[in-house]
Structure 1
Amino acid sequence: MAIHPIYKSDVIHLDSLDSFQPKPGDEERIHTINIGDGMELGLMVGMPTTESDVLRVGFHAAKSAKDPRVHMFSPLALSRESEDPYILFSDPTLTLSDSTILSWYLGTPEVDPDDWMELLVRRMMEATGAKYLLVEGSSAGGFTAMRFAARFRFAVAVPKIPQTDLFRYREGPLANTMRAAGWTGMGYERVMAECPQRFRTADIYNDRNWNRGNIVQYVQNVGDTWHVNDHLTPFLAELGASRPDVFSAAKGQFAISRPFTGAGHVGIPRPHWVAEAKFALNRLRKMRPLPEPESPWEKPSTFVLPANLHAVREANIRAHSIGNVNW
């Protein structure tokens, strides 16, 4: 057992998933587990004694370059103060390279971190009796929240200023992640053919075989024009929204909140996190009033996108993506 250098919580390494046995009233702990291809998944777990029907799941964005390979967790303060049980994940892809500070929990072509995180979340739901999931994250964490929450019908994702399509990055952290995580050499066309769901949330939400109908409360700072124009607007077009300024999409599955919180890609202030989470949970309970047990999610073998959205999807990819860049 060790002490985490930032969070000062006990760090316990798990030999297997069976070693993860959380119980109500446990002290906050950080666990680590090897998930393959050299990656180590970190998870911070809080188990308050108060009863709650909600489990909070959190994903961080970038890590600090001054802390190589250290596990990062978010939203920590809000989770601790909520009195709900929580499990916060650290991106295991970052443990592959000291130079990579941002990677959207992409994993490697052979190992999908979402598979491991889902099993751990379901273990937490069993231990706590939680019926609903509140899945949160900002920027890269928001992208991951949308992708991950799609595995649970009784979940609401609350992404703040998220990315929606990672192929819209021409250089920088994504390229570094590709090299560090083993995506080099696959090429854009092969990734799109084999696993676009890791990189594009629109494909997940346009195919009912790839999502269970979770709710999304999408929070976008309108002062961040780059993310509005290159992520939110084309994403809504691919969902079939008639206008880019709509407040809901996909027959109400998505609610779009557009506060102004500053110019550029700045963080959403704390009061908005609290308010949006409350609103999101109210929507979830109203739209999914009777939670039912569901089996672990299984990836379909192919995508079946609506025919009328194929042209929109391809146009967005051509207009915004890195296209034929050789990874």
Structure 2
Amino acid sequence: MVLPTSSEADRFDFESATIRSKLFNGALDDTDIDRLWNRLDRGIDLGASAIIRDFEASGRRAIGRALPHGVRNAIAGSHPNLLHHDSVSSYHTAASRDSLHWVEAGSVAIPIFTRRTESPILIVTFHGVLRRSKYVLPRFEWVNSLRSLGHNVLSFGDPTMDLDLGLEGGWWLGTHSLDLIPQLAVLVSRTMEELGAKRLVIAGSSMGGFGALQLGAYFPEATVVAFNPQTDVRRYHARRVTRVAMGSVFGADADPVPARVSVLERYDTTAIVPARIRYVTNIGDQHHLDEHYEPFASGLEDRQVKSLVRTTRDDGPRHEKIPAEAFISTLTEEIARFGRS
């Protein structure tokens, strides 16, 4: 794979945003497609594969070349309740119980799964790092497990993963010009308003925990439940993954924007910390204890923030995905607190 320079990341981000807009409006032409293929032939994707996949699925004409393995599913899919929105500001929830949404956001499209119920609670979930050979994007984690709780659900897929077909984690970084987390906050706020939801729980494990903690910077009344999360992408042990993620977004020669890779920096930027952070750690995962939990807890203490509540588990000596039953039981405990407050 070839990582772009910062100037290339900026230029290709703008180019992809322009082409996606033309695709949405039915104005894409052969010249645009050729520009995308030229980029892919250089080994730089930055959303080109996803645009071509969406163009193919639009039924306008065949491309004539096979896309490489790992491109996400197209926007035009078989889900019975699928909505495509031309911008974050035009997003709205569906009347149906379960629905799939694609929201245009510059050079990428944000995938969202929603479940609508009569509950006053909205649960927002983020997925973790994943093997592209095993999962077809978009990935909506925990939605089946959450069905038994009976609450509203909004699950985000990470559009950052469209920037490189080998990318196993994108940490919700967005693109060169798009800080994704504030856009996700707008989508959550609109969903809560339309559903009439009064309580917000944001949850995720590992990379998903990072996304949940980041989103909490926009909701001072929220409860965030993070299982073995990263709190600073720069300190994650799988540097081969973070190098591609940050290089694809910011450029190989650029330093990442601090608030986009660090939860504490994000909290400093918004001057908001969620009302309650339930931080679940695996005592056998020494890296995440030393490099993520301890600096985060110390940082909150230095800022005189008292919303952090730690729970420990013993899930073995490695960084393991939290079991579904533990995920659900922890969320159930947190939701039960609403009745006592």
Question: 1:139 corresponds to which residue?
Answer: 206
Question: 1:56 corresponds to which residue?
Answer: 123
Cα gap change, 1:180 to 1:81, in 2 (>3 Å): same
Cα gap change, 1:8 to 1:60, in 2 (>3 Å): farther
Pick from 11, 35, 39: which aligns with 2:108? Answer: 39
Provide the rounded CA distance (Å) in 1 between the counterparts of 2:299 and 2:200.
26
Provide the rounded CA distance (Å) in 2 between the counterparts of 1:8 and 1:214.
39
3-state DSSP of counterpart to 1:150: helix
Deviations 1:16-70 (A, max 9, x none): 345433255x13121112211x22210001112xx21210101001233126872
Deviations 1:148-205 (A, max 9, x none): 0121122111011101111114721111112322433222xxx4xxx31211112344
Provide the rounded CA distance (Å) in 2 between the counterparts of 1:285 and 1:183.
47
* Mean CA deviation greater in 67-76 or 138-147: 67-76
Tell me how large the CA RMSD over aligned residues is: 2.7
1:227 lines up with 2:288 in the alignment: yes
Q: CA deviation at 1:111?
A: 0.4
Question: 1:264 corresponds to which residue?
Answer: 318
3-state DSSP of counterpart to 1:56: strand
1:156-167 superposed matches below 5 A = 156-167=223-234
Provide the rounded CA distance (Å) in 2 between the counterparts of 1:123 and 1:12.
15
3-state DSSP of counterpart to 2:282: coil
Q: Gaps (5+ residues) in structure 1?
A: 242-248, 290-327
1:24-35 superposed matches below 5 A = 26-35=96-105
Cα gap change, 1:23 to 1:33, in 2 (>3 Å): closer
Larger Rg: 2
Provide the rounded CA distance (Å) in 1 between the counterparts of 2:266 and 2:137.
30
Cα gap change, 1:209 to 1:88, in 2 (>3 Å): closer
Cα gap change, 1:97 to 1:67, in 2 (>3 Å): farther
Provide the rounded CA distance (Å) in 1 between the counterparts of 2:182 and 2:116.
22
Deviations 1:206-237 (A, max 9, x none): x4852154311001111111111221122222
* Mean CA deviation greater in 60-69 or 72-81: 60-69
Q: CA deviation at 1:99?
A: 1.2
Q: CA deviation at 1:88?
A: 0.3
Provide the rounded CA distance (Å) in 2 between the counterparts of 1:86 and 1:98.
28
Provide the rounded CA distance (Å) in 2 between the counterparts of 1:103 and 1:184.
15
Provide the rounded CA distance (Å) in 1 between the counterparts of 2:264 and 2:87.
33
> Which structure has more helix as a fraction of its residues?
2
Provide the rounded CA distance (Å) in 2 between the counterparts of 1:102 and 1:148.
17
Cα gap change, 1:231 to 1:81, in 2 (>3 Å): same
Pick from 133, 149, 153: which aligns with 1:86? Answer: 153
Question: 1:296 corresponds to which residue?
Answer: none
3-state DSSP of counterpart to 1:257: strand
1:274 lines up with 2:309 in the alignment: no
Deviations 1:272-320 (A, max 9, x none): 212211232344665xx5xxxxxxxxxxxxxxxxxxxxxxxxxxxxxxx
Cα gap change, 1:96 to 1:234, in 2 (>3 Å): same
Question: 2:139 corresponds to which residue?
Answer: 72
Question: 1:98 corresponds to which residue?
Answer: 165
Identity %: 26
CA contact (8 A) 2:102 2:110 kept: yes
Q: Gaps (5+ residues) in structure 2?
A: 1-56, 59-72
1:22 lines up with 2:93 in the alignment: yes
Provide the rounded CA distance (Å) in 1 between the counterparts of 2:196 and 2:253.
44
TM normalised by structure 2 equals 0.71
CA contact (8 A) 2:300 2:306 kept: no
Deviations 1:94-127 (A, max 9, x none): 0121111201101124201112211211111111
Provide the rounded CA distance (Å) in 2 between the counterparts of 1:182 and 1:202.
20
Cα gap change, 1:16 to 1:236, in 2 (>3 Å): closer
Provide the rounded CA distance (Å) in 2 between the counterparts of 1:209 and 1:122.
16
1:144-159 superposed matches below 5 A = 144-159=211-226
CA contact (8 A) 2:216 2:274 kept: no
Cα gap change, 1:67 to 1:266, in 2 (>3 Å): closer
Question: 2:241 corresponds to which residue?
Answer: 173
